[in-house]
Structure 1
Amino acid sequence: MAAAAAVHVLVFPTPVQGHINCMMHFAAGLVDAGLHVTFLHSDHNLRRLGGAATAGSPRLRFLSVPDDHARGVGDLLELLRSFQTKGSVAYRSLLTSLVRAGDNSNDGFPPVTCVVADGILSFAIDAAEEIGVPAIAFRTGSACSILSYFSLPRMFQLGDLPFPAGGGGGDLDEPVRGVPGMESFLRRRDLPSQFRSCTENQIDPMLQYLIDVTAHSSSVRALVLNTAASMEASAVAHIAKRMRDVFAIGPLQDMFPAPAGAASLWRADDACMAWLDGKTDRSVVYVSLGSLTVISREQFTEFLSGLIATGYPFLWVLRPNMVEASKNASVQEAIEEARNCNGRVVEWAPQRDVLRHRAVGCFLTHAGWNSTVEATIEGVPMMCWPFFADQQMNSRFVGAVWKTGLDMKDVCDRAVVAKMVREAMESAEIRESARTLARMVRQDVADGGSSAAEFKRLVGFIKELSTTNK
């Protein structure tokens, strides 16, 4: 424990909810292993967390760097580029001070000896190495999506890309051959959403950013993935061929609880749990499209009408301004209609508690990676309506590979919503597949399982880097 106490890891996520959530559980695991951890937020998010960011172990603390940008999906690339300029200067200054002598605050933290930065913040990895601190990349998305970014050159070579111009990109059900290990089931529509705008001469700016940071990962000391062998062994193996080292250590959400309130930027409506208590077993549809998805009024109406048509009670997470023009009277009236039709609408929910509740029968989700692994852990059937980025890949794995749910991408129609919700709620085959995968994942994260062993190896790797660097 004495050697571990001298190890101090700076954990730096991208300042959006899904990335913070995953990397907060990772930080909790490092603290549990006896290491000191500084968790680096943006100024905006640290203010938003308030007192919740002071809880936890005396070996865990929260600091921040400037970030003045909004969190909408359309602002993500601007946010990331801002971090490369204004944020990176503050980050380098802070890291330098933490390396030289801790922070001189007499709180018992030794100097920083290692950085684990979000893999899409490549500047944070480069700056740490330039200062003399060994750095590791952590990618919070699925291994299958990361492999697709690596595979872009091969997809162009084989003719998978670009999609035909006009007509919505040609036949979106055309097979994709260029992502190794996925040739038998991957279609054009299953690639990350930005692939659809690829042409011979132009690539979507956000996709180009992701391709660049993924390529950058090949040069880092190691890549950490929040996944399990039972979920993505093939994708991890193909990624490992391109890396110096890879650690598949998840799902972290089932391994290390985060400090209360420290991982969520929204205050959960815990009263919904009492509402669930009043429902019968597996009778409720849980609906959450994540922290970034924005839907049109028409899509909102289709979802709502489809949910009501099933006759099942539903718990719907509807963030403020998630629906375009959501202050419009017709939207508010529709929300009231939902409440009158055996539905409950909340701005945010304690998702893990909801998913493990006996009353929840299925999860209508955007298939973000955190939501996907959380539902997988609890054995809850999913109905996926992916919005962007890796969600398209994740939903294909749910529907075609693991068979733990249904994939409704590219469709938002009330009749389809109702049909698929009923199937997800009532299919014995889907429920059994979900339970089977849940058992396998729990074996991965249990003592002696692959993820538990990889996490232990990662802690040893970090200790060795910290000692060697000294």
Structure 2
Amino acid sequence: MLQLADALHARGLTVTVLHTRFNAPPDPGRRPEFRFVPVPDGVPATVAASLDVIDILDAMNAAMEAQESAVLRGVLESVLADEEEQPHAACIVFDANLLAVPRAAAAVGLKTLVLRTASAACFGCLMAYPMLHQKGYLPPQESKMYMPVKELPPLRKKMRNLLARAMEAVNNSSGLVINTFDALEPAELERIRSELRIPTVLAPGPLHKLSSKNTSSSSLLDKDYDCIKWLDKQPPRSVLYVSFGSLASLASNEFLEVAWGLATSGHPFLWVVRPGSVRGLDGLGFPDGFEAAVEGKGKVIRWAPQQEVLAHPAVGGFWTHNGWNSTLESISEGVPMICRPQFADQMMNTRYVEKAWGVGFEIEGELERGKIEKAIRKLMEEREGAEMRERAVELKKKVADCLKPGGSSQIAIDKLVEHILSL
């Protein structure tokens, strides 16, 4: 969202950022170009502590809707009351997961735009929601809550409430913005534009490339920039970067297998192990002998400046959970991927990385050090990995083309500004 805010601000728009405690900026003073306004979320402490994204969203929706969006409406009224000192509010851009937003916006006379931070392919699955009803998959019986959906193999029925909310929000909005670009998902975007009931569908991604700043600076974790100095000392395309994002986690036995798989691969690696990312371990808990085994060729850090890392010439591969931001950032820098998806859209992103774009492959089944070592060698040494890298470089060129003056993403962001000013 901040990446889009940066792109809009660069084109002369004033941006106010409404946020809950879950995505509060660690230091709003570092972004003086934006006005930050907190919104009470009503999520119980026990749910918030679970860190389960779906449960938190469900609780947030329930709390806001129980109040008939009154709290959020009050925040919007307060923002609008400041218009004597602030420019006129044209619309609200939100991520479609909170139905309280369009209802509160309608109550104060504001239009809405939806930003989808997942892929166009993922949104295409949301559009299949009516078909799932028609075929009797929805509403599901409790006993079938986790049953695979044949038409949508990577998805599970337990996501039904989130899917329904997202589609309702989009269909009632004045436009849809998807963080992708035309050359990456042409068929998916064509289908969305032809079937969706709203007239404005724009693809100005990768948004992090349109931003004038590294918007990963909004992370609540401090990034270790010393890792860039370490990368400077490594040969070109020799380092495997390993990061499973800000939410995904490993079991303690998986953590040990990853550690030894990296150690025995023989390749330099930069491994992000954020606090709390290993279930069952209070600290890092590296196995005996691991640090000695990787001395000089492996570096473990708590959090990385990921965009800079992926852009570094020493990085030759990325072992990722395939969140969409990470996937787009890797594509943007021409870095092939080892994929280990865990939830939400990550399975679909992995499928596209492997089957549609051919720039990576999935480690399936249980994590085992021998399997991990083999996967790393496949990506970093073997011909198959080299071919993935060649295709990744071609996608990087397409990213550069869409960002040029007159490129599809530049045109899309200009159209978005025009659309906002017309509301």
Normalised TM-score (structure 1): 0.79
Query: 1:322: how far off?
Result: 0.5
1:66 to 40, 59, 76: 40
Partner of 1:212: 165
Deviations 1:316-363 (A, max 9, x none): 111111001222684475774675373211111000000011111100
1:232 aligns with 2:232: no
Matches within 5 A, 1:339-350: 340=295, 342-350=297-305
Whether contact under 8 Å (2:111, 2:173) holds in the other structure is: no
SS in 2 for 1:78: helix
> Which of 96, 105, 111 is the aligned partner of 1:134?
111
The whole-number CA distance in structure 2 between the counterparts of 1:331 and 1:361 is: 25
1:451 matched to 2:409? The reply is yes
RMSD between aligned alpha carbons?
2.8
Which of 229, 236, 242 is the equivalent residue of 2:196?
Answer: 242
Q: What percent identity do the matched residue pairs reach? A: 34
Partners of 1:92 and 1:127 within 8 A in 2: yes
**C-alpha distance in structure 2 between counterparts of 1:260 and 1:157, whole Å:** 41
Corresponding residue to 1:397 among 325, 330, 352: 352
Match of 1:5 in 2: none
Determine the structure 2 residue equivalent to 1:90: 71
CA shift, 1:368, in A, is: 0.3
Distance 1:462 1:118 in 2: 16
Distance, in Å, in 2 between the alignment partners of 1:118 and 1:333 is 45
The 3-state SS of whatever aligns with 1:229 is: coil
- Distance, in Å, in 1 between the alignment partners of 2:243 and 2:311 is 15
After TM superposition, give the deviation of residue 313 of structure 1 in Å.
1.2
Choose which of 308, 317, 320 in structure 1 pairs with 2:275: 320
Partner of 2:278, secondary structure, is: coil
Superposed counterparts of 1:436-447, under 5 Å: 436-447=394-405
- Are the structure 2 counterparts of residues 363 and 246 from structure 1 closer, same or farther at C-alpha, using a change threshold of 3 Å? same
> Is the contact between residue 366 and residue 391 of structure 1 (CA under 8 Å) also seen in structure 2?
yes
CA distance in 2, matches of 1:429, 1:329: 35
Q: Secondary structure at the match of 1:286?
A: strand
What are the residue-to-residue correspondences of 1:40-119 with 2, within 5 Å? 40-43=18-21, 45-46=23-24, 49-50=26-27, 53-56=28-31, 58=33, 60-67=34-41, 70=48, 72-86=50-64, 88-102=69-83, 108-119=85-96
Q: Which is worse superposed, 84-93 or 219-228?
A: 84-93
Query: Structure 1 residues 38 and 341, CA, compared in 2 at 3 Å: closer, same or farther?
Result: same
The answer on whether the counterparts of 2:240 and 2:270 sit within 8 Å (CA) in structure 1 is yes
After superposition, the Cα gap between the structure-2 partners of 1:136 and 1:66, relative to the gap in structure 1 and judged at 3 Å, is same
Which residue of structure 1 lines up, in the alignment, with residue 8 of structure 2?
A: 30
For structure 1, the 5+ residue unaligned runs are 1-22, 180-187, 196-202, 466-470
Aligned CA distance change for structure 1 residues 364 and 311 (closer, same or farther; 3 Å): same
Q: Give the CA deviation at 1:43.
A: 3.7
Q: Distance in 2 between matches of 1:209 and 1:343?
A: 40
Alpha-carbon distance between aligned partners in 2 of 1:223 and 1:318, rounded to the nearest angstrom: 35
Give runs of aligned pairs for residues 404-415 of structure 1, distance below 5 A. 404-415=359-370
1:265 deviates by 2.0
**Distance in 2 between the 1:261 and 1:248 partners?**
20
Distance 1:382 1:114 in 2: 38
Work out whether residues 386 and 409 of structure 1, in 8 Å CA contact, stay in contact via their aligned partners in 2: no
Cα distance in 1, alignment partners of residues 371 and 135 from structure 2: 34
Separation in 2, partners of 1:407, 1:336: 27
Is the 8 Å Cα contact of residues 284 and 359 (structure 1) preserved in structure 2?
yes
Shift of 1:260: 6.5
1:95 is paired with a residue whose SS is helix
Q: How far apart are the structure 2 equivalents of 1:159 and 1:98?
A: 44
* 1:248-272 alpha-carbon deviations (Å, 9 max, x no partner): 1100111113366742221101111
Deviation digits for residues 94-140 of structure 1, max 9, x if unmatched? 111212333x7xxx522422110111123212211221011111111
How many residues align? The count is 408
Structure 1 residue matching 2:415: 3-state secondary structure: helix
Q: CA deviation at 1:238?
A: 1.7
Code of the residue aligned with 2:241 in structure 1: it is Y
Distance of aligned partners of 1:262 and 1:243 in 2 relative to their CA distance in 1, 3 Å threshold: farther
For 2:283 and 2:223, how far apart are their aligned partners in 1? Answer: 24
In structure 2, relative to structure 1, the CA distance for the partners of 1:261 and 1:411 (3 Å cut) is closer
Query: Superposed, which structure 2 residues align to 1:236-385 within 5 Å?
Result: 236-240=189-193, 241-244=195-198, 245-258=200-213, 262-327=217-282, 330-331=285-286, 336=291, 340=295, 342-385=297-340
Between the aligned partners of 2:249 and 2:94, the Cα distance in structure 1 is: 27
Q: In the aligned structure 1, how far is the partner of 2:52 from the partner of 2:227? A: 31
Between the aligned partners of 1:363 and 1:259, the Cα distance in structure 2 is: 19
Deviations 1:402-455 (A, max 9, x none): 001112244423222222222222322111100001111221122111111111
In structure 2, give the amino acid aligned to 1:121. Answer: L
1:143 aligns with 2:120: yes
Offset at residue 287 of structure 1 (A): 0.3
| C-alpha displacement of 1:395 | 0.5
For structure 2, the 5+ residue unaligned runs are: none
Q: Post-superposition shift, 1:36?
A: 0.4
Classify 1:61/1:409 alpha carbon distance in 2 versus 1 (closer, same or farther; 3 Å). Answer: farther
